[in-house]
Amino acid sequence: MTKQNQLADIHKSKKPYIIYKSQSGFDLYTDFSKKVILNYKNVNKFLSKKQKKNLKQTDLFIGFFGYELLNNLIGIKLPKQKKINFPKGIFYKPEKKISFSNILKYRKNNTNRLNNHFKININKKSYSKIFEKFKKKIKSGETYQIKICTKYKTKSRIDPLDFFCRLSKTNLAPEAFLIRDNNYSIISCSPENLITKKGSLISTKPIAGTVKKNKNMNKYKALKYFRKNLKETKEHNMIVDMERNDLSRICQVGSVKLSRAKTVEEYKDLFHYVTLIKGKLKKKISTMDIIKAMMPGGSVIGCPKISTLNLLNHQEKENRNIYTGSFGYIKFNGDMRFNIIIRSILNYKNISEISVASGVVVDSNAKHEFNENYIKAKALIDLFR
CATH of 3-201+283-294+318-384, one of 1.10.287.130, 3.60.120.10, 3.40.50.300, 3.20.10.10: 3.60.120.10
Higher-confidence residue of 236 and 295: namely 295
Inform me whether the pLDDT recorded for 331 exceeds 70.
yes
Does the pLDDT of residue 2 top 80, yes or no?
no
Cβ count near 327 (within 10 Å): 26
Q: How many CB atoms lie within 10 A of CB 126?
A: 12
Query: Would you state the pLDDT for residue 368?
Result: 86
- pLDDT on residue 1: 62
Decide if 270 contacts 210 (C-beta within 8 A). yes
Neighbouring CB atoms inside 10 A of 249's CB total 14
More confident: 157 or 337: 337
Spatial neighbors of 156 by CB under 8 A, at least 6 apart, are 112, 113, 114, 115, 347, 350, 351, 352, 384
272 Cβ partners below 8 Å, 6+ apart? Answer: 191, 207, 209, 210, 264, 265
Average pLDDT taken over every residue of the chain:
91
Percent of the chain with pLDDT over 70: 99
CB 126 within 8 A of CB 159: no
Using the 8-state DSSP alphabet, how is residue 300 labeled? G
Amino acid at 334: G
| Mean per-residue pLDDT, 91-105 | 90
Residue 116: predicted pLDDT: 79
154 neighbors 115 (Cβ within 8 angstroms)? yes
pLDDT of 109 reads: 67
pLDDT digits (tens, 9 = 90+) for 175-187: 999 999 999 999 9
pLDDT surpasses 80 at 92: yes
pLDDT, tens digit, 9 for 90 and up, residues 164-216? 999 988 888 899 999 999 999 999 999 999 999 999 999 999 988 888 888 88
Give SS3 for 157.
strand
Whether 347 contacts 154, CB under 8 Å: no
**Neighbouring-strand partners of residue 355:** 151
The per-residue pLDDT for 253 is 96
At residue 296, the pLDDT reads 94
343 touches 355 (CB < 8 A):
no
Tell me the average pLDDT across 65-70.
97
Other Cβ atoms less than 10 A from the Cβ of 56: the count is 9
In sequence order, which residues have a C-beta less than 8 Å from that of residue 288 and are 6 or more positions away? 44, 47, 48, 73
Contact 360, 373 (CB under 8 A): no
How would you classify the pairing of strands 17-21 and 26-30?
antiparallel
DSSP line for 320-385: -TTTTSEEEEEETTS-EEEE---SEEEEETTEEEEEEEEEE-TT--HHHHHHHHHHHHHHHHGGG-
Smallest CA-to-CA distance from 270 within 321, 325, 219 is with: 219
Q: Are 244 and 294 in contact (CB under 8 A)?
A: no
34-37 vs 60-65, strand pairing mode: unpaired
Dist CA 168 CA 100 (whole Å)? 13
Contact 281, 250 (CB under 8 A): yes
Dump the DSSP string for 90-138: EEEE-SEEEEE-S-------S--B----PEESS-HHHHHHHHHHHHHHH
CA quadruple 335, 340, 341, 342: dihedral positive or negative?
negative
Q: Which of 290, 291, 259 is nearest to 277 (CA)?
A: 259
Distance CA 27, CA 97 (A): 7
What span, in angstroms and rounded, lies between the C-alpha atoms of 240 and 201?
18
